[in-house]
Amino acid sequence: MARDSTAAIARLRTAATRVRHSAVRGTRAAAVRLGRSASRIRNAPGALVRHYRARHPHPVPELVHPPHPYARAVGMVAVVLLGAWLGLLIVGSVRIPVGPMDTMMTLRPSLTGGTKINVSPLGALELESHRAPIRLDVDVDRLDPTRAQTLVDHPERFSGLQDEVTSDVVSGTRELALRSCIAVVSGATILGLAVYRTPRRALAAGGTALALLAACGVSAFATWNPKSVLEPKFSGLLASAPSLVGNARSIVTEFDIYQKELARLVTNVTKLYDATSTLPTYEPDPTTIRLLHVSDIHLNPASWHVIGSLVEQYEIDLIVDSGDTMDHGSAAENPFLDPVEDLGAPYVWVRGNHDSEATQGYLERMKNVHVLDEGRAKNVAGLRIAGIGDPQYTPDRSVIAEGDPAEQTAGAALAAALWQERSRGTPVDIAVAHNPVAARQTDGAVPLVLAGHVHHSEMEVLDRGTRLRIEGSTGGSGLRAIDPEKEDDEPDPIEASVLYLDRETKHLQAWDEIRLGGLGLTKAEVSRHLPEENSPGATPSPTPTGTRTPRAP
């Protein structure tokens, strides 16, 4: 009994001890939990800061520096330009019928602007229609046989073709403008997204491309030249068909026909396609004198073939050579001149600084050749022409060249002879001198003066009204064209010009500049030009000989 009581008391003590220990442990656990909660509250700001820093780490210094702002700007510009160009190349074209033809209109980046019309397979013609960093290309793909045959069978429908063509072109231009906007924006945006991989910068590239295209459009509109169609530049086979836009006489006197020149152009191209076997030749105007101006042949035998072809093609009335036909002026070179007699037109010649007195004497003995010197005037093919030889024979190293003063003296002598002819009642229509320095001295004494020497073509109206025409090298600078020390690898072009003069007034109506590829090249270009006084709406200027009182020599 006593043993049971003792055991019960021991169990009670053990239970009490366990209860006490459990209470202590609970109290300690509660204290620990309370401490942890207080620690969490105390450390909460730091934890938030650490969490933010983990989500937004500070940039770590790198060995490669970030690009400079200017470099980023240049990169953006490059992306915009390349993307816009690719967009125009891929989707920036519009196929549209213009009258009886199917055409492709495209905008292309360009440094000079303008419009290029490709008439395959005949060639191309270029118009200086505007000045902007973008060019309009019009490719004539094919002639619709049904529409073309309708026009051929019913020529009276050509009268309504102007309105139809105008409407087609306006519609095509609007569609091209819209498609070009979409093309440049899409191209720049897609390329920007591929390069930068951020939508914001990609959209910035697209917006920049659109702004750039708008600026080009404003520039083209501000510099639009509707009269550019009167002075087209032909290339390819079209160079042999200047009648595509009419002859010089009709442009000057019948401009009302050209109020919608594009329609006429389409009409004549239609006729060209219809006549598939041949091209229409240049139809001569019987009231116009055609003068072929050549210069600086420099012993190039190919020049005679070019001149003969031009004489036949344009039905030339006379040829004027402003000198430097030879290179050294030696007697051994004289046989080079033999083809002159068979060119098919009177040959008027003045001595250049590479032509000797022996050269001049050799030409004077030829049939159909008229040598001008010392201001003496001659009547040739309905024109009165006077000229003077170059006073300086530069291949002769024993004589020191006097330069411009000698040329000015020769020009003054020519001017005095011109005024003397005027006082006699036999005014000269055209004066000829080799060097432009001498030619400028005739200002006011003659309506037109021709020169060469500088191997590039120019047309200038001098202070007193005389028009100075400087011809390029019809020989492509001769042997200089293959000079290995030349900086430019491309050979010099062969240049000549056809001048159209009124048979009654002897005034210049228009001129065609002819430019052929030099040695080894086959490119050909013909560009039509009109004097300002013959442009539509211009007031004819007084003749230059009336601006100054004749004087004694």
Per-residue pLDDT reduced to its tens digit, 454-473: 999 999 999 999 999 999 99
Query: Taking the domain 252-394+403-533, which CATH number applies?
Result: 3.60.21.10
* Side-chain half-sphere exposure of 141, counting CA atoms within 13 A: 12
Q: How far is CA 323 from CA 440, 447, 466, in A?
A: 16, 20, 21
Lowest-pLDDT choice from 70-84, 85-99, 117-131, 424-438: 117-131
pLDDT at 471: 96
pLDDT at 74: 80
Q: ω before 121 within 30° of 0 (cis)?
A: yes
pLDDT at 264: 46
Between CA 35 and CA 23 the distance in angstroms is 18
3-class state of residue 474 by DSSP: coil
Band of pLDDT at residue 549, cut at 50, 70 and 90: very low
pLDDT at 521: 45
394-421 average pLDDT score: 87
The tokens for 466 are 């005389």
Between CA 378 and CA 385 the distance in angstroms is 5
Comparing 245 with 397, the larger pLDDT belongs to 397
97-122 average pLDDT score: 77
pLDDT at 128: 82
**Rg of the Cα atoms in the chain:** 42
Place of tokens 């012993």: 299
376 DSSP 8-state letter: -
Closest among 154, 191, 159, 214 to 79, alpha carbons compared: 191
Q: Compute the C-alpha angle 67/72/74, nearest 5°.
A: 130
Length of the chain: 553
Say whether pLDDT at 105 is over 80: yes
pLDDT at 14: 73
Comparing 313 with 258, the larger pLDDT belongs to 313
What number of other Cβ atoms are within 10 A of residue 245's Cβ?
A: 20
Encode pLDDT of 231-245 as tens digits: 677 666 555 544 444
pLDDT at 396: 72
92, 183 Cβ separation under 8 angstroms: yes
Q: Compute the C-alpha angle 142/522/126, nearest 5°.
A: 50
263-279 average pLDDT score: 44
Band of pLDDT at residue 121, cut at 50, 70 and 90: low
480, 492 Cβ separation under 8 angstroms: yes
Closest among 200, 306, 225 to 524, alpha carbons compared: 306
Please report, rounded to a whole number, the percentage of residues in the chain having pLDDT higher than 90.
27
What number of other Cβ atoms are within 10 A of residue 142's Cβ?
A: 11
Band of pLDDT at residue 262, cut at 50, 70 and 90: very low
493-501 average pLDDT score: 90
The tokens for 551 are 């004087």
Q: Compute the C-alpha angle 72/74/78, nearest 5°.
A: 115
pLDDT at 383: 96
Longest dimension (CA), the chain: 178
362-381 average pLDDT score: 94
Average pLDDT of the chain? 76
Between CA 528 and CA 29 the distance in angstroms is 107
pLDDT at 252: 41
User: Where do the structural domains in the chain lie, given as residue ranges?
Assistant: 70-240, 252-394+403-533
Between CA 270 and CA 371 the distance in angstroms is 46
The tokens for 491 are 């050979």
Say whether pLDDT at 190 is over 50: yes
The tokens for 536 are 């539509």
Encode pLDDT of 524-545 as tens digits: 677 778 887 665 544 544 444 4
Between CA 203 and CA 193 the distance in angstroms is 8
Place of tokens 């250049």: 352
Encode pLDDT of 3-16 as tens digits: 666 776 677 677 66
Say whether pLDDT at 279 is over 60: no
φ, ψ (nearest 5 deg) of residue 118:
-95, 115
Between CA 114 and CA 96 the distance in angstroms is 20
188, 497 Cβ separation under 8 angstroms: no
Encode pLDDT of 303-329 as tens digits: 888 888 888 878 899 999 999 999 888
Closest among 482, 297, 472 to 306, alpha carbons compared: 297
What number of other Cβ atoms are within 10 A of residue 323's Cβ?
A: 28
Band of pLDDT at residue 114, cut at 50, 70 and 90: confident
Encode pLDDT of 200-253 as tens digits: 888 888 888 888 888 888 888 888 877 666 667 766 655 554 444 444 444 444
Say whether pLDDT at 551 is over 70: no
Band of pLDDT at residue 132, cut at 50, 70 and 90: confident
Between CA 455 and CA 523 the distance in angstroms is 18
Beta bridge partners of 143: 101
Q: Which of 26-35, 112-121, 174-183 has the highest mean pLDDT?
A: 174-183
Residues in contact with 171: Cβ distance below 8 Å, sequence separation at least 6, in sequence order = 96
pLDDT at 448: 96
H or E element, residue 93: strand 93-98
pLDDT at 297: 93
Q: Which of 66-80, 150-164, 174-188, 287-301 has the highest mean pLDDT?
A: 287-301
3-class state of residue 295 by DSSP: coil
Q: How far is CA 199 from CA 33, 88, 210, in A?
A: 51, 22, 17
Please report, rounded to a whole number, the percentage of residues in the chain having pLDDT higher than 70.
64
The tokens for 142 are 């094919």
